[in-house]
């Protein structure tokens, strides 16, 4: 019995080996890829297929027939409708007339964006420039809609309602969540009790939060009715005014999501080395100075990452406005997700998919920009 | 030994039980389950469940009622039946929605079942509901369980105390509402509301606006319609008539509950039952609802008007408003054009064409059971069921409602109002063409809500609706829609 012992190592074949050896060597080298290929293929199919299939919907007029779904290709009509057709005001808000203030601020935004692009031109690679150009285009578009609608005294559409929930809501939640986490990281009595207490809302289903908040926020029968009466606000109804309704949505959403920020930031704060803080104390630094110079730089990578995750989640808000106001008054509390759901509910699957795609583009560009220009920047800064 | 004795006694007991227990008679539909989908809550669904229990005892068929939010009924049924899921055997929904489902070939033709049914007595169903509610393209595809008209109700005691006459026009409605708004209508010492209308978005507010618009737009009979030019399917919406309706509708809010924009029909019903509304726009339900135990504050006090009219009507060629005369509004009375709106058209049941035959037989038998006079004449007298009269025998005399506890005068007023609407030659029919739900509950409802919230002007709302309706018409095909409209209005 003889054994064919192969002593060659995987990698470049030495001269003179047979083609069979080469093949076996190649297989050895790529064995890892072969083993994971089926799993990766399956995952790609599951991840990509729905995305592509929903694009088919977005480019079609879909009708229900006795034989199933009937697709009629309509090009970008479902998208066009959101910007120029019957849904323009619903999606973008009213963009006419544009005020002088709106025009001035838009001009400032355009100049700032182009200045930023000009500065990047000198240092960035073409790939980065491409990314920055996309971010710049999105910034100019969003800037124009903001200036033409809100800053010109016009109503906003579901696009800016969503951005309001994301930008304002996340800012409020981050500030309060970080503040609570900071308090609970201090040596105070009963902090474990407060940790559990502050964490509970995150465990409640959004549907439950919606119904609970709807009852709590009821100004005629809710628990705050006597207080409003004492303040002379018995006739004030938050659900009748667009902005008060939006603020109530943010308050209710914050109630649920502050715990998420709280728990992540608490973990980050508790991981700040104690000796750094003590060293600063020995040096006579005030509490504020310790937080600003020692604690904050160490938690900032976690903070921006948490903010990014929360922002991605906030773009998808739907349950609260659906349950509390049905998107009203008018469409003032309607997010883009809810907009898509309402249209889907009317079996206009094409328009619904188109709005879902617009939300995807908005989320990807805003969050990728935030990640590239803020998160990575802060992480690099923290490392240096 | 002990074990054997126990076993023996068990065996003897079992034999005795089998021998003495009454054998269950196999029902006609034993083992058949009929899955029904409809709206949530006791209204409509509750009575289906209760009658389903009776039906099961009689026939063996199990009736399972699934409830979904109002806005999801139609898309759920459409997608379930169209995609071949077929988890629903019967849909109970607005009669007008049947047209779109039938156009997709999803509805079972009920005429062969009716031919063999000697209990249903469809001649007793009022002609409008029989011909326009139950039939699609000349064939019976649905069976009514409810008949609907949107009417105006007023608190007789409140108006009398304020020295006001019941309104005849929408301007009168606003005038009366302004006079009684803030007065205590239920004796609790608090000011109450002149008008209550459910104006919440994604609910049923879009019906009420059509009730306001119909007498301004439709002047020449039911076949004229008030949504489209029937010959071209161009929307008749961006004009002074609808603009006036929108403005009047918004103005009622000055005399309504402060959170009216967030009130659904259940909320306004709670308000008027608590005696907090002087005037309201509603379906036929408040008539019997005031007999409920929790409506003591309004029992016998809530009177109905079949529909309010308008002194000015739309000149369709100019898009302007002109006074109503016999020449331009042949059905007008004393210079007021009336067009009572058959909002929603009533709840009706339709059977999934792809259900298996035994299930379809059981489903038809159950819908027929619900529709038959023996059951429906009881159900329509109970306000909480949500069922309103639709049979001629239910509307021929007030006796049915007097027997249910309604004072004679009130019962006469109630059926008089429904008959007034039903027999009006200028009755306004709800939209019954493919896409009806999208035209109204999506496009009209959204723009109306945005106008009410002050997000857009009335002109913008009407322009948006016009554009949105045109898009839907183009999607479904203009010629197909013209044909469907002609069928729906009998024009």
- Give which of A346, A350, A352, A354 to mutate to test B binding, by max B Cβ within 10 Å: A346
SS3 track for chain A: CCCCCCCCCCCCCCCCCCHHHHHHHHHHHHHHHHHHHHHHHHHHHHHHHHHHHHHHHHCEEEEEECCEEEEEECCCHHHHHHHCCCCHHHHHECCCCCCHHHHHHHHHHHHHHHHHHHHHHHHCCHHHHHHHHHHHHHHHHHHHHHHHCHHHCCCECHHHHHHHHHHHHHHHHHHHHHHHHHHHCCCCCCHHHHHHHHHHHHHCCHHHHHHHHHHHCCCCCCCCHHHHHHCCCCCCCHHHCHHHHHHHHHHHHHHHHHHHHHHHHHHHHHCCCHHHHHHHHHCCCCHHHHHHHHHHHHHHHHHHHHHHHHHHHHCCCCHHHHHHCCCCCCCCCCCHHHHHHHHHHCCCHHHHHHHHHHHHHHHHHHHHHHHHHHHHHHHHHHHC
pLDDT above 80 (res B391): yes
The CATH number given to A155-383 is 1.10.3720.10
Q: Which two tokens stand for residue B203?
A: 């609910």
pTM given for the model = 0.83
pLDDT at B13 > cutoff 60: no
- pLDDT confidence tier of residue B250, bands split at 50, 70 and 90: very high
CB contacts, 8 Å: A94 with chain B: 455-456, 460
Q: Judge contact between B245 and B184, C-beta under 8 A.
A: no
Note whether B181 contacts A: Cβ–Cβ < 8 A: no
For B84, which residue in chain A has the nearest alpha carbon?
Answer: A68
Closest chain A C-alpha to B96 CA, distance in angstroms: 15
Alpha carbon distance A62, A70 (integer Å): 6
Pick from B71, B262, B450: CB nearest A331: B450
As given in the structure block, the two tokens for residue B362 are 């059981």
Are the beta carbons of A64 and B467 separated by less than 8 Å?
no
Query: CB distance A89–B450 less than 8 Å?
Result: yes
Partners of residue B455 in chain A, C-beta under 8 Å: 89, 94, 155, 242, 330-332
What gap in Å lies between CA A353 and CA B430, rounded to an integer?
30
Q: Is the Cβ of A179 closer than 8 Å to some Cβ of chain B?
A: no
Residues near A67 by beta carbon (within 8 Å), at least 6 away in sequence: none
> For testing the chain A interface, which of B238, B259, B264, B459 should be mutated: the one with the most A CBs within 10 Å?
B259
Contacts of A85 in chain B (CB under 8 A): 467, 471
Q: pLDDT at position B7, please?
A: 44
Main-chain dihedrals φ then ψ at residue B119, nearest 5 degrees? -105, -20
Across B448-468, average pLDDT: 92
**Diameter of chain A measured on Cα atoms:** 102
Average pLDDT on B471-483 reads: 92
> Which SS3 state, helix, strand or coil, does residue B443 take?
helix
From the list B74, B200, B468, which residue is nearest A86 (CB)?
Answer: B468
Q: What are phi and psi of B193, to 5 degrees?
A: -110, 140
Please report where in the chains the tokens 């079949």 appear, as a residue. Answer: B306
Peptide bond into A329 cis (omega under 30): yes
Say if strands B312-315 and B320-323 run parallel, antiparallel, or are unpaired.
antiparallel
**B449·A155 Cβ contact <8 A:** no
Using the predicted structure, report yes or no on whether residue A268 has a pLDDT greater than 50. Answer: yes
Query: Does residue B265 carry a pLDDT above 60?
Result: yes
Instruction: With beta carbons less than 8 A apart as the criterion, state whether B418 and B334 touch.
Output: no
The reply to whether residue A330 touches residue B202, judged by beta carbons under 8 angstroms, is no
Q: Compute chain B's Rg from CA coordinates.
A: 25
Preferred mutation among A229, A324, A326 to probe B, highest tally of B CBs within 10 A: A326
* More confident of the two residues B303 and A96: B303
Q: What would the mean pLDDT of B50-65 be, rounded to a whole number? A: 95
Distance CA B409, CA B402 (A): 9
Contacts of B260 in chain A (CB under 8 A): 240
Does position A83 have pLDDT exceeding 90, yes or no? yes
Question: CA-CA distance, A329 to B41, in Å (whole number)?
Answer: 24
Q: What per-residue confidence (pLDDT) applies to B1?
A: 41
Considering only residues 345 to 374 of chain B, which have any Cβ-Cβ distance to chain A shorter than 8 Å? 353-354
User: At B341, phi and psi to the nearest 5?
Assistant: -100, 120
Give residues with Cβ within 8 angstroms of B406, minimum separation 6: B287, B288, B291, B300, B398, B414
Tell me the residues of chain B between 244 and 273 that have a Cβ less than 8 Å away from chain A: 257-262
- Shortest distance between the Cα of A151 and any Cα of chain B, in A, equals 15
Q: Which residues of A touch B84 (CB under 8 A)?
A: 68
- Write out pLDDT tens, residues A7-38: 545 555 555 678 888 888 898 888 888 899 99
Q: What is the pLDDT of residue B8?
A: 41
Q: What is chain A's mean pLDDT, rounded?
A: 88
Taking the C-alpha atoms of residue B356 and residue B35, their distance in angstroms, rounded to an integer, is 12
Pairing of strands B151-155, B302-305: antiparallel
Instruction: Report the pLDDT averaged over residues B91-117.
Output: 93
Q: Is A331 on the interface with B (CB under 8 A)?
A: yes
Q: What is the pLDDT of residue B21?
A: 35
For residue B85, the distance in angstroms to the closest alpha carbon of chain A comes to: 10
- CB within 8 Å: A86 and B353: no
**pLDDT reported for residue A123:** 82
Would you call A328 and B202 a contact, using CB atoms and an 8 Å cutoff? yes
Cβ B446–A90 below 8 Å, yes or no?
Answer: yes
Phi, psi of A156 (to 5 degrees): -100, 160
Q: What single-letter DSSP state applies at residue B238?
A: S
pLDDT tens digits for B198-229? 999 888 899 999 999 999 999 999 999 999 99
Cβ-Cβ contacts under 8 Å between A and B: the total is: 128
Q: Using a CB-CB distance cutoff of 8 angstroms, which residues of chain A are in contact with residue B81?
A: 66
Structure tokens at B16: 């005795």
- Kindly tell me if the per-residue pLDDT of A302 is higher than 80: yes
Instruction: State residue A222's pLDDT score.
Output: 81
Residue keyed to tokens 């000796």: A275
Render pLDDT for B75-95 as a digit per residue (tens, 0 to 9): 899 999 998 899 999 999 999
Instruction: Give A326's contacts in chain B (Cβ within 8 Å).
Output: 200-203, 262
A149 at B interface, C-beta within 8 A: no
Query: Could you tell me which residues are beta bridge partners of residue A156?
Result: A93
Give SS3 for B274. coil
Q: Please state the separation of Cα A141 from the chain's center in Å.
A: 18
pLDDT at A299 over 70: yes
Weakest-pLDDT range from A213-217, B52-56, B351-355, B462-466: A213-217
Residue B270 with chain A: CB contacts under 8 Å: none
d(CA B203, CA A319): 17
Q: What pLDDT is stored for residue A368 in this prediction? A: 92
Query: What does the domain layout of chain A look like in residue ranges?
Result: 94-154, 155-383
What pLDDT score was predicted for residue A186? Answer: 85
What separation, in Å, do the N-terminal and C-terminal C-alpha atoms of chain B show? 88
Is A94 near chain B, with CB under 8 Å?
A: yes
* Substitution target from B202, B203, B267 for chain A, most A beta carbons within 10 A: B202
Say whether pLDDT at B445 is over 80.
yes
Q: Which two tokens stand for residue A333?
A: 């509390």
B475 contact residues in A (CB cutoff 8 A): 61
Q: Mean per-residue pLDDT for A277-285?
A: 90
Using the Cβ of A382 and the Cβ atoms of chain B, whether some distance falls under 8 Å is answered with: no
- The verdict on a CB contact (< 8 Å) between A326 and B201 is yes
Which pLDDT does position A215 carry in this prediction? 86
Alpha-carbon dihedral angle through residues B163, B168, B173, B179, given to the nearest 10 degrees:
-10
For residue B259, the model assigns a pLDDT of 87
Closest CA of chain A from B72, distance in Å: 6
- The pLDDT value recorded for residue B221 is 94
Give φ, ψ of B37 to 5 degrees: -115, 130
C-alpha B94/C-alpha B73 separation (Å) is 10
CA distance A22 to B157: 101
Q: Which residue of B has its CA nearest to A350?
A: B475
State mean pLDDT over B130-158.
Answer: 93
DSSP-derived 3-state class of residue B292: coil
Q: Would an 8 Å CB–CB cutoff place B437 in contact with chain A?
A: yes
- ipTM greater than 0.85: no
Q: What is the pLDDT of residues A125-184, one digit of tens each?
A: 888 899 999 999 999 999 999 999 999 999 899 999 999 999 999 999 999 999 999 988
Question: What is the C-alpha to C-alpha distance for residues A298 and B435, in angstroms, rounded to an integer?
Answer: 58
- Whether the CB-CB separation of A184 and A195 falls below 8 Å is answered with yes
d(CA B323, CA B335) in angstroms, rounded, equals 8
């Amino acid at each position: 019995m003889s054994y064919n012992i192969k002593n060659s190592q995987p990698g470049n074949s030495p001269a003179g080996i047979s083609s069979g050896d080469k093949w076996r060597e190649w297989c050895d080298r790529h064995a890892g890829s072969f083993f994971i290929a089926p799993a990766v293929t399956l995952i790609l199919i599951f991840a990509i297929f729905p995305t592509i299939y929903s694009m088919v919907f977005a480019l079609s007029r879909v009708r229900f027939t006795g034989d199933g779904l009937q697709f009629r290709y309509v090009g970008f009509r479902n998208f066009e409708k959101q910007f120029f057709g019957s849904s323009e005001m619903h999606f973008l808000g009213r963009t006419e007339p544009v005020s002088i203030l709106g025009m001035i601020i838009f001009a400032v935004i355009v100049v700032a964006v182009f200045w930023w692009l000009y500065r990047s031109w000198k240092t960035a690679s073409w790939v980065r420039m491409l990314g920055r150009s996309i971010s710049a285009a999105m910034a100019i578009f969003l800037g124009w809609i903001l200036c033409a609608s809100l800053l010109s005294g016009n109503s906003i559409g579901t696009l800016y309602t969503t951005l309001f929930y994301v930008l304002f809501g996340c800012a409020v939640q981050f500030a309060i969540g970080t503040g609570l986490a900071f308090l609970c990281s201090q040596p105070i009595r009963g902090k474990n009790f407060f940790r559990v207490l502050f964490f509970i809302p995150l465990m409640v289903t959004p549907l439950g939060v919606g119904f609970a908040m709807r009852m709590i926020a009821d100004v005629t029968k809710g628990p705050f009715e006597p207080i409003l009466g004492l303040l002379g606000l018995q006739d004030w109804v938050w659900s009748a005014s667009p902005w008060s309704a939006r603020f109530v949505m943010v308050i209710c959403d914050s109630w649920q999501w502050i715990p998420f920020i709280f728990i992540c930031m608490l973990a980050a704060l508790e991981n700040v080395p104690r000796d750094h803080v003590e060293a600063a104390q020995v040096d006579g630094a005030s509490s504020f100075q310790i937080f600003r110079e020692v604690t904050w730089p160490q938690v900032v990578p976690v903070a921006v990452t948490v903010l990014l995750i929360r922002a991605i989640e906030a773009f998808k808000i739907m349950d609260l406005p659906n349950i509390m106001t049905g998107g009203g008054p008018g469409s003032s509390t309607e997010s883009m997700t809810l907009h898509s759901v309402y249209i889907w509910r009317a079996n206009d699957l094409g328009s619904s998919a188109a709005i879902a795609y617009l939300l995807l583009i908005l989320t990807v560009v805003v969050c990728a920009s935030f990640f590239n220009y803020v998160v990575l920047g802060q992480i690099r800064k923290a490392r240096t | 030994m002990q074990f054997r004795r126990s076993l023996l006694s068990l065996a003897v007991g079992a034999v005795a039980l089998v021998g003495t227990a009454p054998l269950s008679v196999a029902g006609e539909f034993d083992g058949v389950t009929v899955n029904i989908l409809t709206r949530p809550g006791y209204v409509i669904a509750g009575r289906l469940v209760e009658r389903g229990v009776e039906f099961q005892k009689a026939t063996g068929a199990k009736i399972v009622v699934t409830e979904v939010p109002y806005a999801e009924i139609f898309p759920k049924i459409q997608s379930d039946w169209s995609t071949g899921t077929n988890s629903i055997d019967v849909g109970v929904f607005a009669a007008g929605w049947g047209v779109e489902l039938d156009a997709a070939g999803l509805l079972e033709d009920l005429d062969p079942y009716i031919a063999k049914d000697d209990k249903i007595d469809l001649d007793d169903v009022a002609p409008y509901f029989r011909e326009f509610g139950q039939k699609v393209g000349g064939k019976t595809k649905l069976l009514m369980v409810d008949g609907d008209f949107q009417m105006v109700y007023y608190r007789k005691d409140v108006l009398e105390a304020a020295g006001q006459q019941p309104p005849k026009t929408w301007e009168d409605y606003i005038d009366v509402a302004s006079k009684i708004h803030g007065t205590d209508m239920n004796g609790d010492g608090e000011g109450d509301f002149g008008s209550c209308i459910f104006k919440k978005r994604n609910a049923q507010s879009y019906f009420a606006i059509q009730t306001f618009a119909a007498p301004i737009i439709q002047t020449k009979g039911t076949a004229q319609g008030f949504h489209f030019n029937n010959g071209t399917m161009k929307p008749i919406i961006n004009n002074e008539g609808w603009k006036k309706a929108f403005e009047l509708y918004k103005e009622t809010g000055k005399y309504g509950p402060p959170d009216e924009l967030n009130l659904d029909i259940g909320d306004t019903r709670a308000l008027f039952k608590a005696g907090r509304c002087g005037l309201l726009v509603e379906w036929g339900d408040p008539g019997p609802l005031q007999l409920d135990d929790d409506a003591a504050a309004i029992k016998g006090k809530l009177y109905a008007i079949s529909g309010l009219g308008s002194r000015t009507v739309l000149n369709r060629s100019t898009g302007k408003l002109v006074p109503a005369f016999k020449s331009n509004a042949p059905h007008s009375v004393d210079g007021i054009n009336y067009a009572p709106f058959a909002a929603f058209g009533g709840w009706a049941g339709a059977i999934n064409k792809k259900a298996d035959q035994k299930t379809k037989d059981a489903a038809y038998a159950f819908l027929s059971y619900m529709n038959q006079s023996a059951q429906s004449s009881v159900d329509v007298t109970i306000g909480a069921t949500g069922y309103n009269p639709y049979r001629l025998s239910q509307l021929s005399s007030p006796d049915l409602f007097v027997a249910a506890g309604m004072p004679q005068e009130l019962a006469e007023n109630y059926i008089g109002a429904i008959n007034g609407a039903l027999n009006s030659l200028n009755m306004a029919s709800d939209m019954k063409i493919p896409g009806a739900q999208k035209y109204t509950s999506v496009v009209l409802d959204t723009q109306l809500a945005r106008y009410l919230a002050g997000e857009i002007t009335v002109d913008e709302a009407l322009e948006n609706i016009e554009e949105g309706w045109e898009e839907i018409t183009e999607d479904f095909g203009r010629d197909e829609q013209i044909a469907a409209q002609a069928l729906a209005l009998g024009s």
